[in-house]
Amino acid sequence: MDLRLLRYFMALADELHFGRAAERLHICQPPLSQQIRLLEEELGTPLFERSHHRVELTAAGQMLKEQAPLVFEQLERALDLTRQTGRGQLGELEIGMISSVMVGVLPKALHLFRERYPQVTWRLHEMTPAAQVKALKEKRIDACVFRVGYDDSQLRNELLIYEPIHVVMPADHPLAGRDVLAPADLALEPFVALELKQSRFANFLYQCCIQAGFTPQIRQQVIEVQTLLSLVRAGFGVALLPASIEQLAPAGLVFRNLTPALPEVPLYVTYRADDASPVLKLFLDTLRELRENP
């Protein structure tokens, strides 16, 4: 049905006078009469009772007058939702992450994004970096945040920040009394590390140690950062982690600077290179804003 016919009908239903309704619609009276007849033919029922002196609604006309505004309201809502979706202000966002990135820029970005775009539904999926990449390629998530990017033509890595690497140890460790340590001080220390087979970040740290002149004596490898922190707290060894992890650390641990410092570790947001999602664009814009103005 041509919605213009409904608008003509509503004008006549309000005015109950062809002349005034035509004037309100800025058209001539004969075309209005013709359009009303077309609407009645389409519906198969008269909507108005006409006489030389007055125009009145039939029962069917009264029903249409009550229901037609709902049509316009629903249409306007549909158009508004369409506009919001096109601008990325409405939709869904699936984000892959590891627990250790839930400090710093990512939680700030999520908080700001939720405030600005409350109608976007977003979900976090905690998984290993390798699982994140697989889910990203399979389009089960829209973006992921992890340390050390992936070289893949299907993906785009966007740098968020660089973080310094600190050494973590129990507060009662013999080296804990020093504010700054040299990498050489760690040469004989037992290490707790993330799984080298599963973590590109763990391999990054391992290579940093090699470049610093020593091979870390890894006694225990784990999957989760929280497990690593617990083992360090229990005295199984020391560890190397980004400085921001100190916000997640339990009591009884200390973080110490290294001089000379190890290379800083990058934090990336990674997404499909061909993804044109408006919602993703707004999320990336939020991350970029915080990167420029932390």
The residue type of 205 is: L
Question: Are 170 and 122 contained in the same domain?
Answer: no
Question: Are 276 and 152 contained in the same domain?
Answer: yes
**Three-state SS for 239?**
strand
pLDDT at 170: 97
Question: Are 105 and 237 contained in the same domain?
Answer: no
pLDDT at 72: 83
pLDDT averaged over every residue in the chain: 90
Domain CATH for 210: 3.40.190.10
Question: Are 157 and 270 contained in the same domain?
Answer: yes
pLDDT at 51: 81
Token code pair at residue 278:
């408006």
Question: Are 78 and 211 contained in the same domain?
Answer: no
- pLDDT over 70 for what percent of the chain? 98
Tens digits of per-residue pLDDT, 64-121?
A: 899 988 888 888 777 777 776 776 676 889 999 988 888 888 899 999 999 999 888 8
Question: Are 47 and 95 contained in the same domain?
Answer: no
Region 232-242: mean pLDDT is: 96
Query: Out of 43-52, 68-77, 134-143, 273-282, which region has the weakest mean confidence (pLDDT)?
Result: 68-77
Looking at the structure of the chain, the number of domains it has is 3
Q: Which residue has the tokens 């508004």?
A: 80
Domain CATH for 55: 1.10.10.10
- Angstrom distance (rounded) from CA 17 to CA 170: 88
- pLDDT over 90 for what percent of the chain? 62
pLDDT confidence band for 199 (50 / 70 / 90): confident
Token code pair at residue 143:
């973006």
Question: Are 149 and 237 contained in the same domain?
Answer: no
Has residue 185 got a pLDDT over 80? yes
Query: Out of 40-44, 76-80, 131-135, 202-206, which region has the weakest mean confidence (pLDDT)?
Result: 76-80
pLDDT at 258: 93
- For residue 197, what are the contacts with CB-CB under 8 A and spacing of at least 6? none
pLDDT at 287: 94
Tens digits of per-residue pLDDT, 1-54?
A: 688 888 998 899 999 988 899 999 999 999 999 999 999 899 999 999 988 778
pLDDT confidence band for 192 (50 / 70 / 90): very high
Question: Are 96 and 118 contained in the same domain?
Answer: yes
Boundary-marking domain end, from 87, 122, 138: 87
**Domain hosting residue 20, numbered range:** 3-87
Region 236-245: mean pLDDT is: 95
- Angstrom distance (rounded) from CA 182 to CA 114: 42
With 0-12 / 13-18 / 19 or more C-beta atoms within 10 angstroms meaning exposed / middle / buried, residue 54 is: exposed
Question: Are 175 and 258 contained in the same domain?
Answer: yes
